[in-house]
Structure 1
């Protein structure tokens, strides 16, 4: 049987290669506008996308309820918030412990993002701390000592660039 997946469907892959809900052009424009400014009013959103306020509101609600939009967040400058030191931590973990290690990492202060990856490491963790001494404590006392973590490798981040939405 031939694969009937369109190229548009393939380009909208979701988590772990599964298909994400199909977005029409208006939904895609709404998502793009909200990525740029999640605080804009529904009225402004409707004007920018060239649809009615009622349509903008109902589409936005549908995008939220279907999980396409998972929330609205403030973007914080970590340096100005007192978190001037950042690092990626590569973890090698014991087989079949990723769920427990992920759960525990999510509770560690300073852990910003956790990714299960393929390659030389099993997980990559983005952390932010006040300074190098705090980073040392975070890595040795809180991450490397977690049950299931076999080894850690740290990459200090000198500078970060955030692509425009």
Structure 2
């Protein structure tokens, strides 16, 4: 975390983005379109939100520069990609060890989401593995070997549904 507003939190963290600007209806429409189809052309975005190509291009660049759009990528069906077992793993960690634990969790194969949370546990981790044996190995050999991890609880995922707009 930063010591002062606008500063990064250290060597592992980028500088803080500028304060958010309000998004108008056109910006919101552009975001919805790109969430549904990140490969949409500038021309098609411009046509659908009724602005010029130059305006659409400038708006998308501003959304990227402001950190509203963090990147463009593919939505993966993990089961079809050979990672048919998914689990949420909760972790209790040593106080003030978040940065150290986060750095270790980023190295785990199949880790796809890491969150520092409040409540009965400290960290929520989503992982995708080829099978239950690989999940067991990840939890027992990799996660529990991190010195700052005090305990884990594994919640096996039976089914998921992506609530983001679909392309």
The interval holding the TM-score normalised by the smaller chain is 0.7 to 0.9
Match of 1:33 in 2: 33
The match for 2:47 is 47
Provide runs of 4+ in structure 1 moved above 6 Å: none
Gaps of at least 5 residues in structure 1 are: 1-18
Gaps of 5+ in 2: 1-18
TM-score (norm. length: structure 1): 0.86
Alignment RMSD: 1.0
Aligned to 1:119: 119
3-state DSSP class of the match of 1:103? helix
SS of the equivalent of 1:119 reads: coil
Tell me the secondary structure at the aligned position of residue 73 of structure 2.
coil
User: In the TM superposition, what are the counterparts of 1:12-23 in structure 2 within 5 Å?
Assistant: 20-23=20-23
* Structure 2 partner of 1:6: none
Secondary structure of 2:145 counterpart: coil
Aligned residues: 147
Equivalent residue, structure 2, for 1:24? 24
> Could you tell me which residue of structure 2 aligns to residue 12 of structure 1?
none
Q: Does 1:57 align with 2:50?
A: no
Query: Contact 1:110–1:138 at 8 Å: present in 2 too?
Result: no
Per-residue CA distance 1:37-63 (angstroms, 9 max, x = gap): 000100000111111111101111111
